[in-house]
Amino acid sequence: MIFGFLSNLFSCNAAEKVDIPALVQNGALVIDVRTPAEFSGGAIQGAVNIPYDEIAARIGKVEADKNRPIIVYCRSGARSAAAKKSLEQAGYTQVINGGGFSKVRKLLGQ
């Protein structure tokens, strides 16, 4: 049971099944859920910084369309998994856990 929970928490399988560059090119919102200090040290071009523990309270000010694709990322994929869950609980329907910053940066050629 615990293994399944941890596997789901850290899983980035959704990111492996979607074309993140195409989503970004077509207007997906990219959210960096790391701390402001981490974000200021380097981020994906065009990403919005909303720390994962603030995302449920702040997402409505950034994106009202609950059907717009949203890609979340952090340092390793754990905080973005938590953010994905929060966004889905808030009714957002197309949330992708991109995983770690390095992975997303590489996918986007940054």
Q: Which residues are catalytic?
A: 74
Torsion sign, CA atoms 93, 19, 50, 11 = positive
| Selection from 32, 33, 15 nearest residue 23 by Cα | 15
Distance between CA atoms of 64 and 7, rounded to whole angstroms? 30
* Residue 48, both tokens: 């919005």
